[in-house]
Structure 1
Amino acid sequence: MTATARPPRAWELQTVLLMLAIGAAMVPSMVLLVSDLMIRSILLSAEFSGLSPLLLAVVENSGLINALFLLLTLAYIGGYFWWRRRTRDMLAPISGGTGDPTVHWAVQAWQLAIVTSFVVRFGNTSSDSTRDGIATRLVWDAIQAGVRLAGLVLLLVGVWQIREQVRRRVAEIGVDLRIRNTGSGRVPLVAPLGMPAIPAAADLEPADDGFWQRVGQLADAAGADLALLEITGKATRRWALVSPAGDLAAVRAAVPDGAIVTVFAEPPSAADTTAFIPAPADYYHGFLEDGVTGAFSYQTVRPTGVPVFLARARNARRWALYPTESPSSVTAVAGTA
Structure 2
Amino acid sequence: MTLLDMAKRAATIAPPLPVAGDAWWSEAADRAAAAGAALPLLESTGPGDGRWLLVEPGADLATLRESLRPGATLTLFPSPPDGRATGARAGLIEEPDGTLRYDRVETGPQLEAWRARAAQATRGALYPLDDPDAISAAVPG
Same fold, TM exceeding 0.5?
A: yes
More strand by share: 2
Q: Give the root-mean-square deviation of aligned CA atoms.
A: 2.1
State yes or no: 1:261 paired with 2:66. no
Cα distance in structure 1, aligned partners of 2:45 and 2:91: 17
Q: Secondary structure at the match of 2:117?
A: helix
**In the alignment, structure 1 residue 220 sits paired with structure 2 residue 25:** no
Cα pair 2:91 2:104 within 8 Å, conserved: yes
Change in Cα spacing, 1:328 to 1:234, as seen in structure 2 (3 Å) is closer
Q: 1:316 to 1:331 in 2, by over 3 A?
A: same
Asked if 1:295 corresponds to 2:93, the answer is no
Paired residues for 1:11-22 under 5 Å = none
Is 1:311 aligned to 2:116, yes or no? yes
In structure 1, what is the Cα distance between the partners aligned to 2:124 and 2:37?
13
Which residues in structure 2 correspond to 1:56-205 (within 5 Å)?
Answer: 203-205=16-18
Residue pair 1:281, 1:324 contacting (<8 A) in 2 also = no
Tell me if structure 1 keeps the 8 A contact 2:85–2:126: no
Query: Does the 8 Å contact 1:227/1:239 carry over to 2?
Result: yes
1:245 and 2:49 correspond: no
User: In structure 1, how many angstroms separate the alpha carbons of the residues matched to 2:83 and 2:52?
Assistant: 20
* Runs of 4+ with >4 A deviation: none
Between the aligned partners of 2:23 and 2:103, the Cα distance in structure 1 is 29
**Alpha-carbon distance in structure 1 between the residues aligned to 2:52 and 2:95:** 12
Greater RCO (CA < 8 Å, at least 6 residues apart):
2
8 Å Cα contact 2:85-2:127 kept in structure 1: no
Once residues 99 and 85 of structure 2 are traced to their aligned partners in structure 1, the CA distance between those partners, rounded to angstroms, is 28
Q: Is the 8 A contact 2:73 2:137 kept in 1?
A: yes
What's 1:131 paired with? none
Could you tell me which runs of 5 or more consecutive residues in structure 1 were left unpaired when the two chains were aligned: 1-198, 269-276
Query: 1:301: how far off?
Result: 0.8
Aligned-partner Cα distance in 1 for 2:57–2:47: 30
In 1, distance between residues paired with 2:54 and 2:85? Answer: 25
Asked if structure 2 preserves the Cα contact closer than 8 Å seen for 1:261 and 1:334, the reply is yes
TM-score normalised according to structure 2 size: 0.81
Point out where structure 2 has 5 or more consecutive residues left out of the alignment.
Answer: 1-12
Q: 1:324 aligns with which of 94, 116, 129?
A: 129
Alignment partner, residue 229 of structure 1: 42
Shift of 1:306: 2.6
8 Å Cα contact 1:225/1:267 also seen in 2: no
Q: Distance in 2 between matches of 1:284 and 1:256?
A: 22
TM-score normalised to structure 1 length: 0.36
Q: Which range moves more in the overlay, 244-253 or 211-220?
A: 244-253
**Equivalent residues of 1:230, 1:261 under 8 A apart:** yes
Whether contact under 8 Å (1:281, 1:323) holds in the other structure is: yes
Q: Which secondary structure state, in structure 2, belongs to the residue aligned with residue 204 of structure 1?
A: coil
The structure in which a higher percent of residues are helix is 1
Contact 2:17 2:136 in 1 (8 A): yes
Residue identity matched to 2:95? D
CA spacing shift, 1:289–1:280, aligned 2, 3 Å: closer
1:267 to partner: Cα distance: 4.7
